[in-house]
Amino acid sequence: MFDALRSADPDIAALIESESRRQVRTLRLIASENYASAAVQEAVGSALANKYSEGYGGRRYYQGQQYIDQVEALAIDRIKAVFGAEHVNVQPYSGSPANLAVYFAFASPGDPVMGLGLPHGGHLTHGWNVNVSGKWFDAHQYPVERDSELLDMAAMRRIAREVRPKILFAGITAYPRVVDWDAFREVADEVGAILVADIAHISGLVAAGLHPSPVPVADVVTSTTHKTFRGPRGGMILCREEHARAIDRAIFPGLQGGPHNNTTAGIAVAAREAAQPSFREYAQRVVDSARALGEALVERGFRLVTGGTDNHMLIVDTMHRGVPGKPVAQALERAGMVCNYNSIPFDPRKPFDPSGIRIGTAAMASRGIGAEHMTRLADWVDQVVAASDDTSVEERVRGEVEEFLIDFPAPGLEGVTP
C-alpha cells in the first residue's frame, strides 16, 4: 500500500500506516466512527477529487461534467431509494454544513430556533451557544427529563409554544433511545416550525429499518454519511420536494463552492452497500451488541443513562463506579479500547472532565464482532476500571484485545499487518 506516497513523502506515509495499524489493533468504540469499505475508500481516493463542479447536474459552472453528473445522479438515486426520500442533496461537506444550510434556507439571523441541549445529547449545531447556530439565532434548548433521562417532550412542547421557533431540530449525538418523530411533528405543526431530523448517528439504522424513519415525517432530514451509515466523511440532506429549491440554493451558492465529487462517489458506493442484505445483518449486529454490552456493564456495576439503549450507543455514568469519564477513557485507550469521555445529563462536572463515557458498537459490528462477544468486552472494561491505573492490568488487557481482534479483519484495512 502507498508505494507512491512512501517514496514522495515518507513522513505522511508512515503516519497513515501507523494510524491504519492503530485502527486494526484497537477496539474502536467511538460512536461516530466506523470502517468504510475498501470500495468506498477507492472512490474517495480517486481522480474525481481533481474536478470542479459548482452547480447541480446539467447546470454546472464548469465544463467537463459528463461523468461527474452521472456520479452525482447515481448517489442521489441510491440515497432516495434507501431512505424513500423525495429530494436528496449529497453536496454538504459534512453534517455541520448540512445543518447550517438548513438555517440559511429557512431562517434569518435573530429568528427563534430550537434544539436539544448539547449537554443533554444534542449537537453543537442545534443552537448551542458557542456555535454559529447559537450566536446568530435566538436559540432555545429543550432538555431530557431529570429522572428518566428521556427526551422531555412536555418541556419541548412548552418551550416551542413560548418561542414559536422557525426551525425545530429533532436529533441526537449522545442519546441512546428511539426518537419519536411524530411527536415532534405535532409540535412543529402547532407552532408553524420547519421540522428537521438530524439522523447523523442513526442513519445506518434508519436505512436498515432498525430505527423509525423520519423521512416521511420531517420537512428536512440531515445526516453525515460516515457513522452507522459507513460511507465516506460527508453529508447529505433529504427533504420534501416543496423544500428542494430552498435546500439546494442554501448549499450552493449559499454556503459552499464545488462539491467534493470523490466523496459523492463514496456516498454512492455506500448507498449501494446499504441496500444489500449484509448491511441489514451488520445493523442488527450493531443494535444487538449495544444492548448486550449495556446489560453486561450494568451487571458489573455501571449505570447507563436512561438505563439502556435502543440504538448503537451507550452513555455510561462512570461516577457510579467512583471514577470520572476522562480517566476511564484514558485508561481504556491504554488497554486497547478507544471511546470518548462524555457529559451525562445534568452533569455536575465540566464538559472537559465529565462524569461519563460514550461507547458505540458500529465499528465493532463492521468487523463482525457481535452480541456474543460483549461479556468479554464488559469484563475488560470492568477490569481496567477496577484496576485504577494499574498498568500491568492495562497491558494484559491490551494484549488480550489485540489477540482477540486478529480473528476480525477490519473492512478497508484488510492489507494492514497489525
Q: Is 52 a catalytic residue?
A: yes
Residue list 62-101, contact with ligand DSN (CB under 6 A): 95
**CB of 261: closest distance to ligand DSN in angstroms?**
23
Of the residues 22, 25, 80, 233, only one is catalytic, namely 233
Three-state DSSP string of 96-146? HHHHHHHHHHHCCCCCEEEEECHHHCCCHHHCCCCCHHHHCCEEEEECECC
Active-site annotation holder among 6, 17, 52, 281:
52
287: closest CA among 377, 200, 210?
210
203 lies in the site for ligand DSN, by CB under 6 A: no
Minimal distance, residue 303 CB to ligand DSN, in Å:
21
**Annotation says 282 is catalytic:** no
Report the candidate in 103, 283, 127, 282 with the shortest Cα–Cα distance to residue 194: 103
What does the alpha-carbon distance between residue 93 and residue 365 come to, in Å, rounded to a whole number?
26
Q: Name the residue nearer to ligand DSN (CB basis): 34 or 53.
A: 34
User: Which contacts qualify for 393-397: CB closer than 8 Å, 24 or more apart?
Assistant: 393/335, 394/331, 394/334, 394/335, 395/335, 397/335, 397/336, 397/337
Identify the active-site residue in 60, 185, 227, 321.
227
- Closest distance to ligand DSN from the beta carbon of 340 (Å): 7
Subset of residues 115 to 174 that bind ligand DSN, contact rule: CB under 6 A: 123, 173
State yes or no: is 54 an active-site residue.
yes
Give the chain's length.
418
- Quick check: 32 binds ligand DSN (CB under 6 A)? yes
State the Cα–Cα distance between residues 323 and 112, nearest whole angstrom: 39
List the one residue out of 418, 306, 291, 406 whose CA is nearest residue 356.
306
Q: Is the peptide bond before 253 cis (omega within 30 degrees of 0)?
A: yes
Nearest CB to ligand DSN, comparing residues 37 and 96: 96
Report in angstroms how near the CB of residue 173 gets to ligand DSN at its nearest. Answer: 4
Active site residue 227: yes
Least gap, CB of 408 to ligand DSN (angstroms): 23
Q: Does the annotation mark 245 as catalytic?
A: no
56 catalytic, yes or no? no
Residue (32 or 306) nearer to ligand DSN, CB: 32
Name the residue with the smallest CB distance to ligand DSN: 32
Q: Residues 173, 224, 318, 361: which is the catalytic one?
A: 224
Cell numbers of 272, please? Answer: 449501494
Question: Dihedral angle at the C-alpha atoms of 359, 197, 77, 205, nearest 10 degrees?
Answer: 30
Note the residues at the interface with ligand DSN (CB under 6 A).
Answer: 32, 95, 123, 173
Active site residues: 52, 54, 198, 224, 227, 233
